[in-house]
Structure 1
Amino acid sequence: MTDDTWSPPHILLAVDLVILTLRETHLHVLLVERGIEPYRGCAALPGGFLHNDREGLLAAAHRELDEEADLDATQLHLEQLGTYGDANRDPRGRVVSVTYLAIAPRLPEPTAGTDAARAAWRPVDAIVSGELPLAFDHDVIIADGIERARSKLEHTPLATAFCEPVFTISDLQQVYEAVWGVDLDPRNFYRKVQKVPNFLLPVDAERRVTKGRPARLFTAGPATTLHPPIPRPDHTASRQGE
């Protein structure tokens, strides 16, 4: 093949967003109901194609989150989760998606717009179990996002962001259980978090509980990484049915 007969392949570039939060002690992901084909009426991640050859990937991610769910992405820490480009992932042709992840507490209710008929927070359990089918390969993308979130709890103090400014070890444990999808032994968990320097700082106060001794209160410490990390239990410790 000579240079004058070669032409570049036709590949479309898109962005998708995995936005995770805790709602009522359960991990949720932001989904929209597609208002256009393909997969019209199906649940999907917010996202879409780049507008033109001058729009950057992160700018496209911000725009799509605003257009499809009315959420301000500039208030979130978006990090690249991965690139998805299997040949048959989109019936419209060869589409490569660069996916962004954000994990944040206390996010507002979304409002659908543009080509999304509806936007809502949906529990990840319904997706992992297959109860809620998704468009394209978005179940695979969400699974990768969940795994990234679970890993972050092992190595960073992210879980404290989902607690009130002053919290108990039990409050923190509920965050770990919700994201990891496991039940944790309170005594082992207490011992592990107390071993991590600068993870938690004690507050000179206690919270009254209905039974037993008052619970000690803590606030987030200055640590940005956890040394030693807090390892996840293996799958045998997972909650039944998850």
Structure 2
Amino acid sequence: MSEPIDIPPDEDVPEWAVRYNAGDYPLQAVTGDAVALALENGTEWTLRALLVERGKDPFGGLDAWPGGFMDWEDADTRQAAIRELDEETGIRAPEYVEALASYSRNGRDPRQFAGTRDEKTGAWTARGARVTTAAYLMLVSEPAEPKGADDATRAHWADVYAYLPWEDVRDDARRAGTLGVRRALDGWAGRDRTRLARVRDLFDLDDWNEERTAERWALLVESALVPEGRRDRWGRSEPRDDDALFGREMAFDHREILADALGRIRGKIKYMPAALMALTGPRATLDELQAACEAIAGRPLHRSNFRRAVAPPARTEARAPRIVGKTGQRREREGKGPGVAPEIYRFLDDAVRARLDTSIRFPWLPLTASDR
């Protein structure tokens, strides 16, 4: 589709610009996706994603990231993602926005193959464009209620682990689900030693690496245990009885994007306090900080050692990073039962403005032992 551009009649247009015809090359389209994450403090802390339910095919009824095609007026894909976030959810972009990755796998958007069939020859003529998207990670500390608009049926905040349930191993019940996924992968691997070694490497709870989210997702797609690994060119896949074990399906390759985003933020909270503060806000109690880190990482922490990890005593070894300090204020306790109101801490300016020289060594609890 051609668009009028304001080029003055007297401008010296080079000859190549007159000869060039984009129609001589394969059609390409570019989109921007807003990958917004937030923490919700309810009965327990929950990591949530801001999603829209698609109102039309392909993938009608499935959740997707707010996003869309670049307009001529968009300066870049970042601006396109921010604009689409506002148009589809009514929420403006937060202060924390960073490029996540670009996604260009052939066929990632089934609209690429749209076209018509010649009635005489039966030949299919595609008229769609290959779609590449640039995803932007956006971290929100105070999530507002979204409002669906544009081509989205509704916009909503959803639990990240409803889509990647095996990534949450905070307690025995959740770990049981992860072990179920592991058993399914073992069945897929059969006697193939290479496959079995990969499954053990990625899904062994005794040696769990919370940051390897993208690798675990890629293995599940390869195994075809998730619907995304069984789709035809039109985005369709036959349902299976055990699909619920693997969480909710998402449109396009958006669960891959979610896995990448989750791995990114799990790594970032260890060396970029600004990323953690973008989710929790500038002030929190140590228990709140611990619950936030556990929700992000999907695994439990040792309480007293966590406190020493983020707010070590002044006499602690100089290399231990200190990211929060006391404010002299306390959080009001709910109810009138016994107990001391917890102290409120604030993120230190020096820590927030810089990347830590020494990453925080979070004291994870063993996943095969008692949580507390």
On whether the aligned pair clears a TM of 0.5, the verdict is yes
Query: Could you give the per-residue CA deviations for residues 97-135 of structure 1, whole angstroms, max 9, x where no partner exists?
Result: 111111121110110001001000000011103321101
SS at match of 2:51: strand
Structure with max Cα Rg: 2
- 1:175 positional shift: 0.9
TM-score w.r.t. the length of structure 1 is 0.86
Q: Which residue of 1 aligns with 2:250?
A: 134
Change (3 A) 1:79 1:31: same
Aligned match for 2:348, one of 221, 227, 230: 221
Q: Which residue of 2 aligns with 1:81?
A: 100
Change (3 A) 1:185 1:220: same
Query: Matches of residues 1-242 of structure 1 in structure 2 within 5 Å?
Result: 7-24=24-41, 25-52=45-72, 55-73=75-93, 75-93=94-112, 94-129=130-165, 130-157=246-273, 158-163=275-280, 166-195=283-312, 196-205=320-329, 215-222=342-349, 223-224=351-352, 225-232=355-362, 237=367
TM-score w.r.t. the length of structure 2 is 0.57
Q: Distance in 2 between matches of 1:150 and 1:17?
A: 18
Q: Which residue of 1 aligns with 2:182?
A: none
SS at match of 2:268: helix
Q: Distance in 2 between matches of 1:72 and 1:214?
A: 35
Preserved contact between residue 33 and residue 134 of structure 2 (Cα < 8 Å): yes
Change (3 A) 1:239 1:40: farther
Q: Distance in 1 between matches of 2:85 and 2:331?
A: 39
Q: Which residue of 1 aligns with 2:13?
A: none
Change (3 A) 1:60 1:39: same
Query: Could you give the per-residue CA deviations for residues 134-193 of structure 1, whole angstroms, max 9, x where no partner exists?
Result: 011000001111111111210122334444654321121111111111110011111211
- 1:77 positional shift: 2.5
For the aligned residue pairs, the C-alpha RMSD in angstroms reads 2.9
Aligned residues: 236
Long gaps (5+) in structure 1 = none
Structure number with higher strand proportion:
1
SS at match of 2:101: strand
Preserved contact between residue 182 and residue 238 of structure 1 (Cα < 8 Å): no
Preserved contact between residue 165 and residue 219 of structure 1 (Cα < 8 Å): yes
Identity rate, percent: 33
SS at match of 1:61: helix
Q: Distance in 2 between matches of 1:33 and 1:115?
A: 9
Q: Distance in 1 between matches of 2:25 and 2:365?
A: 46
SS at match of 2:96: coil
189-198 or 113-122: which moved more?
189-198
Q: Distance in 1 between matches of 2:281 and 2:24?
A: 57
SS at match of 1:80: strand
Structure number with higher helix proportion:
2
Q: Distance in 2 between matches of 1:119 and 1:9?
A: 34
Letter in 2 for 1:220: F
- 1:7 positional shift: 2.8
Q: Distance in 1 between matches of 2:369 and 2:29?
A: 41
Structure with bigger RCO (C-alpha 8 Å, 6+ apart) = 1
148-157 or 134-143: which moved more?
148-157
Preserved contact between residue 181 and residue 239 of structure 1 (Cα < 8 Å): no
Q: Distance in 2 between matches of 1:23 and 1:116?
A: 23
Q: Distance in 2 between matches of 1:239 and 1:42?
A: 37
Letter in 1 for 2:347: A
Long gaps (5+) in structure 2 = 1-19, 113-129, 166-245, 313-319
Preserved contact between residue 12 and residue 96 of structure 1 (Cα < 8 Å): yes
Q: Distance in 1 between matches of 2:97 and 2:347?
A: 22
Q: Distance in 2 between matches of 1:63 and 1:208?
A: 39
